[in-house]
Amino acid sequence: MSASLTLVIVMAVMYAAGVYVMLERSLTRVLIGFLLVGNATNLLIFIMSGRPGSAPIVTGASVEDMVDPIPQVLMLTAIVINFGITALLLALIYRSWWLAQLGDEGDTLTDEHATESDDDADATFRSSADDDDAVAESIDEFERGDGATSDEDTVSTKTDAAGRAAASASHPGDAR
């Protein structure tokens, strides 16, 4: 057996196995079959490319010694397409697994889940006014030079920060 006949037999076996595995109902088997068919296609392009030769970019070689670049381009294109469809199939497999784990509930949220998630969102995120107040309080503490603040200082600091925020909102060009 010559090397090219061996490659042809390997390619045929990969096509046959890929098509056979793709006929299964499982998406994982479809993915494996598609990968086999894609690699068999690359092998077919490699076999059909002809004899080896020098690179077509290199100058100084005669035209007869250069290899045809079209099969190389076709193989690279086949690899990219194979990768893209493999990513799509993996996303479909993950999505079907995720929906199977949810059971009868599926993707829908009930009213219980919606109200709980709204309450959690309110508890998780603070408003920007709270952040401004905290920044103003820490600046005032730094300016006074002490780490402890009394309740009166905190109240006056929050009032001052609210006044500065309102002033900067009404006059955006005058912000400090």
pLDDT tens-place string over residues 45-102: 988 887 777 777 766 667 777 778 888 889 999 999 999 999 999 999 999 888 888 7
Q: Residue 37: its pLDDT value, please?
A: 95
SS3 50: coil
**Residue 36 predicted with pLDDT over 70:** yes
Q: Residue 88: its pLDDT value, please?
A: 95
Query: Cα dihedral angle (7, 13, 17, 20), rounded to 10 degrees?
Result: 130
Q: Residue 1: its pLDDT value, please?
A: 43
**Beta carbons of 111 and 56 less than 8 angstroms apart:** no
Q: How many CB atoms lie within 10 A of CB 53?
A: 15
pLDDT in tens, 119-156: 555 556 667 777 788 888 888 888 888 655 555 555 55
**Beta carbons of 11 and 43 less than 8 angstroms apart:** yes
**Beta carbons of 95 and 27 less than 8 angstroms apart:** no
* CA gap 89, 22 in Å, rounded: 12
Fill in the DSSP letter of residue 153. Answer: H
Task: Name the pLDDT band for 114 (thresholds 50, 70, 90).
Answer: low
**Cα-based distances in Å from 85 to 79, 158, 160:** 10, 57, 59
* CA gap 28, 47 in Å, rounded: 29
**Cα-based distances in Å from 101 to 90, 98, 105, 113, 116:** 17, 5, 10, 18, 22
CATH of domain 3-103: 1.10.287
Structure token digits, residue 95 = 């999505």
